[in-house]
Each structure stands twice: as structure tokens, then as C-alpha cells.
Structure 1
Amino acid sequence: MRVAELFRQGAGRLCLDFTRTLRHRGTDHAVEELPDGPSLSAWVAQCGPVAAAPHVVPAALVRDAQHLRESVFTLLVLARAGRPLSDAAEDTRERVNQAAARPVPTPSLDERGDLRWHADDPVIATLALVARDTLDLVGSPAAGRLRECADPACNALFLDASRPGSRRWCSMETCGNRAKKQRLRTV
């Protein structure tokens, strides 16, 4: 059973969805969506492959996850700009590399043939997936399709998978709709 959706998804990659847990990044209205263990556990349960995450997540792991998120974001911004990843501080790259080296969830088929995922520590395993997804994305041509949402109140990164590569908003349902309403009001 999956938890109710609390977090924004749909940016095109797990690592991008993870960076969206700091809403309104770079503004005076920034909102931390992973302030504590239950929030991080809920994000893992909603966005990761492991069905259930532990409810007790140490504060140190929450801080590590927040630092990982910022390191991931830094690498994505560099890749989006076509800048060398060596422009990132060494500890930024090392944080992502270390997280990627941890064990990831493992798949197996149950007696009905359904795919199930297991991890001894679902939070650490899902963060390892985030880090591996980051490394895969920044090292691929898909990095050229990274976009920043055109909504100035959002600024979230997303992967533009549209054929022409001209998508402007992270979500047509939220940011795109808001922009269209604003444009109609000014006409």
C-alpha cells in the first residue's frame, strides 16, 4: 500500500523529484519539505520503490539527505549549463559518489509473480538510487534537456521529454495553468 501523495513528482527523473523537496528554492519563501524523519520516510514511501519505509529516521540521516539534495541540485545545475562537473566543490561530488556507493533496493518476484522491492534500510537505499540517478543523468546527453520551470515562483528543474524540447513548465497542471491564467488576466 502506497502513502497518499504529499510530494511533487513528475519531473522526469527520481533525482529531479528529490530536488523539488525544497520548494521555491532561491526565494524568500523557500519551504523545506524534508524537515524531519517522518517527512523523509514519507518521501521514500511515496517516491521510492520500497513499499514501506521506517518511521524512525535519525536526525543525522535527515541532515545527510538535505545535504545530498543540495549536492544533487548543484551537479544538475552545472550539467544543465554545460559546465564541467569539476566546477563543483570536491565535497559536493564526493557526497553524491558516497551515496551512490551504498546498497540499493533489490527486486524479487513474489509467489503471484508480482515484483517486490526490499532494502534493509529503505531510506539509505532510496537515497542511493537518487545519487545513482544523478550520476547517470549528469553524465548523459539527457542533461541537455534539463530545464528550469518558467514560473518564477517555482524554479524547479525538470527533464524536457517533449519532442521539440520546448516545454516551459515543470507541470502544465500547476505552473503552466497558473501562467496561462495570469496571461489571460493581463489581456
Structure 2
Amino acid sequence: MDDAAYYSELGRLRMLGGDAALDFANTRHWRDGREIDFLTGYPALVDWAVVAGLLSEGEGARLREAEGVMPLQAADVFSATVRLRDSWKIHLGEATRALNPTHQPSEALRRMVTTALGPPDLAVSGLPAEALAGADMALPLARAALAIGAFLALPHAGTLRMCEADPCGGVFLDTSRSQKRRWCAMDSCGNRVKAQRHRLRMKAEAVEPPKGNNQG
């Protein structure tokens, strides 16, 4: 089955989380030994949100046009969205490591989500209401916050996990029947881990003397 994917100059980002809130967190993760942030600016945020299903194509087109005439407002919305994403990612990392699966979000994260879901003039501190009226510049922020709020408040299928490939940092819902999914994707992280283990095993076998050939 083909996965939905966001294509950018940084490469392809597949939606592997199983929930838009998790895909939002996965816009920043490790790849090929370095951390990549796919949200490079407001246009990238809008493009990603359309692929993730948080914005419609029509909303995306309207926001791209509005960004051209209100770049400062768009930049403020983008900064607020990245702060929300990073706080959410910290929470998910703690939740996947916690013994208690109902690990509660921090007060700071709760405030970010609540603020982003408020009236447009309250969505981003310091932005005047008239700057957001009509263009809805804060819509990507509000939709991301809505996805996070829904994930926290509603039951969801599967178990929250973090990819075991080191490094990766991707989070996902394990909906497998065995509940033993270990990687965000078998054809990428899974294969990479198995290849690494194979190389280490071959290296170890190369330095070990053959059994039964000991001298003494």
C-alpha cells in the first residue's frame, strides 16, 4: 500500500504515524545521521498540512496567496507552530518511555494547544485580529492543535511507540495484531537496523578464531 507523502527539497516525508498528530511530530526527525526539520517556513507548513489532511487544497491555495501579502504574520504563525510541534514531540518522547501509558502532557503544552484553538485574535500572541480576519493565517496552527487535542482526549487504535532505529525519533501507532512493531517503516529503518546488525555480526566473526583450532 502506498503511503501519503510530503515531497520537498529535503526529500520525501511519508505519513507513517497512523495519526495526523503523530505525523506532525515526525516533521522533525533523524535521517542518515542528521536531524532534519521538514517545516522550513510557512509555505512548507501549508504544503505539509494539505498532505497530512489538516487543510483542504482550497484552504492551502488561499493561505499560500495570503502569505505573499502578509509575510510577517505568516512568520509569526509558523514560529508558534514550530514551538507547539517541538513541545508535542518532547511529550511523545516522554510518553513512549514512561511506564504509565497515560502520561499527561505538561502545563506548557496544554496552554499552547488551548491558545491555538482559541479565537483567531488569540491564536498567536501579539497578532492583531484584523491581520487574521479573512485569510485565517493561523489555520495550520489551529488544525495541528486540534489534532493534538483529539489524540490526547480520545481513544485511538494501537499502542504509541517510538521507532527503535537509532537514530530516528519517529513515533507511530502500533496497530499490528502482535503489537510487536518496532520501526516506523520496515523498508527503511527496519532494513537499516538489520543491515547494521549483519555488518556487526560479520565483523565479529572475522576477528574470532575458528572453534576447535585453539593452541595451547
**TM-score, structure 2 normalization:** 0.64
Aligned pairs for 1:1-187 within 5 A:
5-6=7-8, 7-24=13-30, 29-48=34-53, 49-52=55-58, 53=60, 54-55=63-64, 56=67, 58-80=74-96, 81=98, 82=100, 84-85=103-104, 88=106, 90-101=107-118, 124-142=138-156, 145-187=159-201
Q: Equivalents in 1 of 2:40, 2:75: separation in Å?
A: 9
1:143–1:70: structure 2 CA closer, same or farther, 3 Å change rule?
farther
Deviation string, structure 1 residues 21-50 (Cα, Å, up to 9, x no partner): 11229xx83222212122212212222341
1:78–1:4: structure 2 CA closer, same or farther, 3 Å change rule?
closer
**TM-score, structure 1 normalization:** 0.73
Contact in 2 for aligned 1:19/1:70 (Cα 8 Å): yes
* C-alpha displacement of 1:165: 1.2
1:8–1:91: structure 2 CA closer, same or farther, 3 Å change rule?
same
1:169–1:185: structure 2 CA closer, same or farther, 3 Å change rule?
same
Structure with greater Cα Rg? 2
The alignment covers a number of residue pairs equal to 166
* C-alpha displacement of 1:121: 5.1
Q: Equivalents in 2 of 1:3, 1:162: separation in Å?
A: 21
SS at match of 1:30: strand
Instruction: State the structure with bigger RCO (CA 8 A, min sep 6), 1 or 2.
Output: 1
* C-alpha displacement of 1:142: 4.0
Structure 1: state its 5+ residue gaps. 104-119
1:125–1:59: structure 2 CA closer, same or farther, 3 Å change rule?
closer
Contact in 2 for aligned 1:100/1:132 (Cα 8 Å): yes
Q: Equivalents in 2 of 1:138, 1:59: separation in Å?
A: 27
Q: Equivalents in 2 of 1:122, 1:179: separation in Å?
A: 43
Q: Equivalents in 2 of 1:145, 1:129: separation in Å?
A: 23
Contact in 1 for aligned 2:77/2:141 (Cα 8 Å): no
Contact in 1 for aligned 2:157/2:175 (Cα 8 Å): no
SS at match of 2:57: coil
* C-alpha displacement of 1:100: 3.3
Letter in 2 for 1:92: L
Letter in 2 for 1:66: V
* C-alpha displacement of 1:145: 1.0
Contact in 1 for aligned 2:30/2:169 (Cα 8 Å): yes
Deviation string, structure 1 residues 95-120 (Cα, Å, up to 9, x no partner): 012223468xxxxxxxxxxxxxxxx6
* C-alpha displacement of 1:93: 1.1
The equivalent residue for 1:117 is none
1:125–1:15: structure 2 CA closer, same or farther, 3 Å change rule?
same
Contact in 1 for aligned 2:158/2:176 (Cα 8 Å): no
